[in-house]
Amino acid sequence: MTHSLRITDPDDPRIAAFRQIRERDLVGREGRFIAEGTVVLRLLLAAHRAGQGIRAEKLLLLENRLAGLESLLADLPEEIEVYTASQPVLDAVAGFHLHRGVLGLGRREAVPSFEDMLAELPARALILVGCGISNHDNVGAMFRNAAAFEADAVLLDETSCDPFYRKALRVSVGSVLAVPHLRQGESGQLLRRLDEEGFQILPLSPSGTVEIGDIQPAWRVALVVGTEGEGLPADILSRFQPVRIAQSSRLDSLNLGTASGIALHAIARGMGKV
C-alpha cells in the first residue's frame, strides 16, 4: 500500500500549492507545474524516475481513486508525498469541481542549454520549432504530435508560451514531460544556429512552393511552424525555402495542431522514424 496522508482542511498548508488552481495558472508557479489526470501523472512519475530535470513533489488524490491507482503508485519514490481528500475537500482546494480527482505537483530543475540539447540529439534528428506560439492548446498539440511521430526535440522561441502551463500540459497528454525541449531565444537566431549545425530548415507556410509530401528529408530536419493567422515572420520565409501543405485554395490555413501533425507525419515517414 502506498503511504498517504488524509487532508480534511482545504487550508492545510501541506497542499497549499494545489489551492485555487485556475487563479494560480495566471500568475505562474516559479518552476513548479500541475499535472492533471492519470495519464499525465504517469508521465510525471516516469520523468521523475528518469532523473532528467523533472521532479514530482506531491500528489493530491481523490480518496476513492486511491485503490484504482495502486499499480501507478507502486514503488513510489518515498520523497514524493501523497495526500488524499474527499471530493468536497478536493473541490474546495482546487476552486472548481475536480472530477478527475488526480493532481500532481511537479518541479523543473535546471534547464539544459541550447548547446547541451544539440549535443544530446541523435545523428538522424527531427525537431519541431515553434515561433510565437501563444495559444496553449496549440503548444500542447505540437508536443502530442512530436511524441506521436518520434520527433527528437521541440524548440520554442522566447515569445512562445510555456508548455508547462496546465492546459498545454493536459492537451499534450503529458508529452511535454517526455519530449526534450527548450523555450528560449529569438527565432531567427535559433534557425541560423540550426542551419550551421546542418539542419534542413523547413518553414511551413501556405506560401510554400514545395508540398510537404514531396520533400526529401535530409539527415537532420527542423520543421518550423508559426502562429495561426499571422504565420511565420517574413525574414524566416525569405531566408529558408518554405514548404506547404496542399489544401483548398478557399481556406486560409489549417489548425496549427493539425498542420504540425501532417508535416511531422510526412517527414517522420520519409526519415523512417515511424
Which residue lies nearer to its own copies by CB, 84 or 138?
Answer: 138
Interface stretch with its own copies, choices 54-62, 82-90, 91-99, 253-261 (CB under 8 A): 253-261
Which residue lies nearer to its own copies by CB, 45 or 85?
Answer: 45
Contact by Cβ (8 Å): 74, 85: no
Cα 182 to chain center, whole Å? 10
Which residue lies nearer to its own copies by CB, 201 or 267?
Answer: 267
Cell matching residue 35 = 499535472
Q: Which of the residues 57 through 76 are near its own copies (CB under 8 A)?
A: none
Q: Which ranges in 61-106 belong to alpha helices (H)?
A: 70-73, 87-94
Cell matching residue 136 = 496553449
Which residue from 70, 211, 230, 235 is in contact with its own copies, where contact means CB under 8 A? 211
Interface stretch with its own copies, choices 162-170, 184-192, 234-242, 244-252 (CB under 8 A): 244-252
Binding string to its own copies for residues 160 to 199, with x set by CB under 8 A, is what?
Answer: -------------x--------------------------
Q: 166: closest CA among 236, 94, 222, 214?
A: 94
Q: Give the binding-site size for its own copies (rule: CB under 8 A).
A: 28
Work out whether 44 is an interface residue with its own copies (CB under 8 A).
no
**Rounded Cα gap, residues 166 and 136, in angstroms:** 9
Q: 100: closest CA among 149, 13, 41?
A: 41
Work out whether 269 is an interface residue with its own copies (CB under 8 A).
yes
CB of 7 to its own copies, least distance (A): 31
Work out whether 43 is an interface residue with its own copies (CB under 8 A).
no
Work out whether 26 is an interface residue with its own copies (CB under 8 A).
no
Q: 201: closest CA among 233, 239, 229?
A: 239
Q: Which ranges in the chain belong to alpha helices (H)?
A: 21-27, 37-50, 70-73, 87-94, 114-120, 136-148, 166-171, 187-196, 234-239, 256-270
Helix (H) / strand (E) containing 54: strand 54-62
Work out whether 257 is an interface residue with its own copies (CB under 8 A).
yes
Which residue from 52, 64, 113, 255 is in contact with its own copies, where contact means CB under 8 A? 255
Contact by Cβ (8 Å): 130, 85: no
Cβ neighbours for 61, distance < 8 A, ≥ 6 positions apart: 4, 69, 82, 83, 84, 85, 101, 102, 103
Binding string to its own copies for residues 135 to 154, with x set by CB under 8 A, is what?
Answer: ------x--xx-xxxx----
Which residue lies nearer to its own copies by CB, 93 or 245?
Answer: 245
Which residue lies nearer to its own copies by CB, 66 or 171?
Answer: 171
- In the complex, the residues that contact its own copies under the rule CB under 8 A are 141, 144-145, 147-150, 173, 211, 213, 245-248, 250-251, 254-255, 257-259, 261-262, 265-266, 268-269, 274
